[in-house]
Every structure is written in C-alpha cells, then in structure tokens.
Amino acid sequence: MNLARFLCEYIIHNNNNAHLRGRRNTEDLFLNSTCIHLLLFAAASFVCGRRIDGDRRAGRGAARVEADAQRLGAGAGRLERGDANPCRWTGVSCDGAGRVAELNLQYVDLLGGVPGNLSALAGSLEKVVLAGANLSGPIPPELGALPRLTHLDLSGNALTGAIPAGLCRPGSRLRQLLLNSNRLEGPIPDAIGNLSALQQLIIYDNQLAGPIPPSVGLLSGLQVLRAGGNKNLQGPLPVEIGNCSGLVMLGLAETSISGPLPASLGRLENLETLAVYTALLSGPIPPELGQCGSLQNIYLYENSLSGPIPPQLGRLGSLRNLLLWQNSLVGVIPPELGGCAELAVVDFSMNGLTGRIPPALGNLSALQELQLSVNQISGTIPRRSPGAGT
C-alpha cells in the first residue's frame, strides 16, 4: 500500500465527519485510479504548490489534476478545485520550505498494510503517525531508510510479524518508536542498539518473545522503555541496562523476565518508575536501588523476590509508592523507611515479614495506605508523630 492510497482514503473519509470515527462507508472510501493519480502526482511533483518547471509530464499531470479535482468534487474533502498542494491537506504538515514533514492519520480507519514506499519524501519526512488506523501485516523495513525520520507511531493496530532489524539502521535519527498494542512476534532485534538517538521505546502489549538484548545498553539517551504485556519476554534484565543513564521509566510488567534485578540499576540517577510486576523475578532486591535519587514508584509485586527489604530504600526522598506484595521477602520492616517523606502507599502484604511495625513510620505525613496483611508482624500500628501532619 502506498502513500497515495493512505492520503486519498483520509481525504475522502474526512469529508464526512459522521464517519470519521464511526462505521466505514465503502462508497466514500472507494479508491479509483483518478484519486491515486491525483495524490501521487501532488506529493511527488509539488512543493507547496510549485510545479517542477520544464517537465512535460508534470504539465500533463497538472491538467489532469485540474480535471480530477472537478470530478472528485465534494468527495475530495479539503481539496480545492485545482489544488494539488499536499501542504493544505488535513493530516499533512510541511516544513518552511514547503516539503512534507509530517503525516498524521491517527484513528482514521484506513485498513490494509503500512506503506513502505515513502522514498519520495525521504528528504523531508520527520514524523509518521498511523496509530489506531486498523492496519495489518508486517512493518516495512524500508521505513528505516528514511534519514530524517524522528517519530514513528504505529501503535494500536493489528500489525504482525517481527520488529524488522532494517528499522534499526546505524545513523538513524529516530527518537520515538511506538509499536505498542499490536500482534508483533519474535525477539526485540539486537540491532535496536543502532538507534543511538532513541528516547522512547514503547512496545508493550504485543506477543514478543525472547530476551531483552544487551545492546539496549547502547541507548544512553533512552528515557522510556515500556515492554510490558509481552508474556514471552524472558530471561534476566541485562546488566547493560545500567548504561541507559537517561532512563526515567522502566516497564516490564506481565512478562516472564526472571532472575535477580541487576545491581547496575543503581546507576540510573534519573529513574522515576521501576515497574516489573507480575513477572518471574527472584533473588534479593538490590540495595543499590537506594542510589536512584529520583525514584518515585517501585512496583515489584507478584514475583518471587526473597531476602530482606533493603534499608537503603530509606534514602529515597521522592518515593511515593512502594508495592512489594506477594513475594517471599523476610526479615523486619526497615525503620529507615520513615525517612521517605513523600511515601503515600506501602504494600508489603503476602510475604514472610516478621517483627514489629517500626515507630518511624509514624513520621510519614503523606502516608495514605499501609498494607501488611498475611505476614508475621506483631505489635501496634504506630501513632502519627507530632508535626507529621493530620
């Protein structure tokens, strides 16, 4: 499926707002050769409406554009009579030089496959958003050959097959890659490490399998990694994850990630959320997490973590949510947690904790919920300390 089909369907579909998010009208979305010719000619031969001078084919095409625009009439949506300028089409944005820089057809019921032949726009295209567009089939590896592409959003479709290694070419400028909520299979390609500019890798809710490649550690600028909901993602979290110094959010919930959490997580000074719940983690919680001064949320529940709760977590002054329920944790609740002034929700239920609730927890003025059931904890709940709030 090429660019022309996509844009043509969108223009006709957009003409009837009643169908924009509703049922597909087959008559309105009928694609004939006239419409395809019109869009191909406009995208390839015009820059903000300026014809390629001296090209006879462009001249003949311009005449046909005029005639086609008349025949399409109201069905052509935002196309004015004789207007073959894609910069004025809804869903198309151009740069200052009049070149197509962005295609945004989000939530338009397009059907078919993702267009792979966008080479005519290779010199200018920076952003492609085809989220929720009812697309199917594989991801074309040719998209990785667009040298200026920084944002690719194909989320919320029915795409199948693997994430192509061709999408991850050296020198890529890709910063945001959103492939979540599809039916993608196979491994995360080792070539993902080639995307040195990548800031967001969003691939949750697919059917991906295999380990997280160590090459992810090459992505020093990565800020968000969300791969949860891929139940066949397995193996340990690679030690190299500690090299992702810009990481803010690490989400691997509802996967088969196993083994201990690496101590290298302690190098992630910008990490705010660690979410690896409902997985197969085992071993101790690394005390090095106490070095992650930006941590706000720790979600490690429903695993097989063992050993004590590290007292070093008490250094996390920004910590708000600490959810460790349904593990195999033992020992006492560390009184150092009383130093987590922002702590609002604590859930240690369904573990093997013993001892008393430390009085220091009474210092937690922001505390809203404390769950300690199904443990072997004794004693009374500490009173809130004077000056700790109401």
Residue matched to tokens 């509802």: 254
Task: List the domains of the chain with CATH numbers.
Answer: 91-371 (3.80.10.10)
Instruction: Decide if 167 contacts 143 (C-beta within 8 A).
Output: yes
Kindly report the number of other CB atoms within 10 A of residue 66's CB atom: 13
Instruction: Decide if 89 contacts 78 (C-beta within 8 A).
Output: yes
Q: CA 214 to CA 350: how far, in whole Å?
A: 33
Instruction: Decide if 213 contacts 187 (C-beta within 8 A).
Output: yes
pLDDT for the residue numbered 379:
85
pLDDT for the residue numbered 178:
98
pLDDT for the residue numbered 82:
43
pLDDT for the residue numbered 116:
86
pLDDT, mean of each 10-residue run, the chain (390 residues): 50 42 36 33 42 39 37 32 71 92 93 89 95 97 96 98 97 98 98 98 98 98 98 98 98 98 98 98 98 98 98 98 98 97 98 96 94 94 65
Which amino acid type is present at position 37?
A: H
